[in-house]
A and B are shown apart, each in its own frame.
Chain A
Amino acid sequence: DAGVIQSPRHEVTEMGQEVTLRCKPISGHNSLFWYRQTMMRGLELLIYFNNNVPIDDSGMPEDRFSAKMPNASFSTLKIQPSEPRDSAVYFCASTRFSTSGIGGYTFGSGTRLTVV
């Protein structure tokens, strides 16, 4: 099991550019989550999907952020245009929902985004 795979690991971009972060969840998992972590705000949930359908995007900071999950094995988080305040570590996590109760989420290693 390769775990949750995120790419790229590091991204440096100029303000105004489009940034796309990618995530491959664990095979068989049916829930996927995007989190952002900064020193000031800690870990914040941005959006999550169940069975590829967005369920709660209330954490998405503004219209510049969008996320998609075209199939069970791939998700993207896009920022367009990017701003310096978007600099953070972005984590993707996945889990398999079961009616008997939810176990642990598995997190990826994160993408460290720096917008200059």
Chain B
Amino acid sequence: DAKTTQPPSMDCAEGRAANLPCNHSTISGNEYVYWYRQIHSQGPQYIIHGLKNNETNEMASLIITEDRKSSTLILPHATLRDTAVYYCIVRVGANFGNEKLTFGTGTRLTIIP
């Protein structure tokens, strides 16, 4: 699976949009971009994933550049509960026998009151 690069930490003011970048310049055509987050002492939580089109759900939006070499996770109105470590992961999607997710070090997002 392609490696990802994320900033180790970021701050964002409460109520503002949090934009978390991820670089995945070696991504292959069949690899998806996944985002998870881990709030302190809890298990990781799935947020969103995409292949090449932008995606939006009730939690966040995922913007993938046209060349797919980078992406941005957007939390539109950050709250204190969004303080967590955010992981960007790229991996092959539907490939039976290769479903594993490999977590990097992620970005520690702190929402400031």
Contacts and interface: CB of A to CB of B under 8 A. Distances in A.
B94 A98 contact: yes
Interface stretch (A13-21, A41-49, A68-76, A80-88): A41-49
A101 B93 CA distance: 5
B102 A50 contact: no
A42 B105 contact: yes
Interface of B: 32, 34, 36, 41-47, 49, 51, 93-94, 96-97, 99-105
B99 A95 contact: yes
B97 A55 contact: yes
**Which 4 pairs across A and B sit closest by C-beta, in order of nearness?**
A104-B46, A107-B43, A43-B103, A101-B93
Interface residues of A, number: 28
A16 to B, nearest CB: 28
Given A99-B94, A100-B94, A93 B43 contact: yes
A43 B32 contact: no
A106 B46 contact: yes
27 contacts: A33-B101, A42-B103, A42-B104, A45-B101, A45-B102, A48-B99, A50-B96, A50-B97, A55-B97, A91-B43, A93-B44, A97-B99, A99-B96, A100-B94, A101-B32, A102-B93, A103-B46, A103-B49, A104-B34, A104-B36, A104-B49, A105-B36, A105-B46, A107-B44, A109-B42, A110-B41, A110-B43
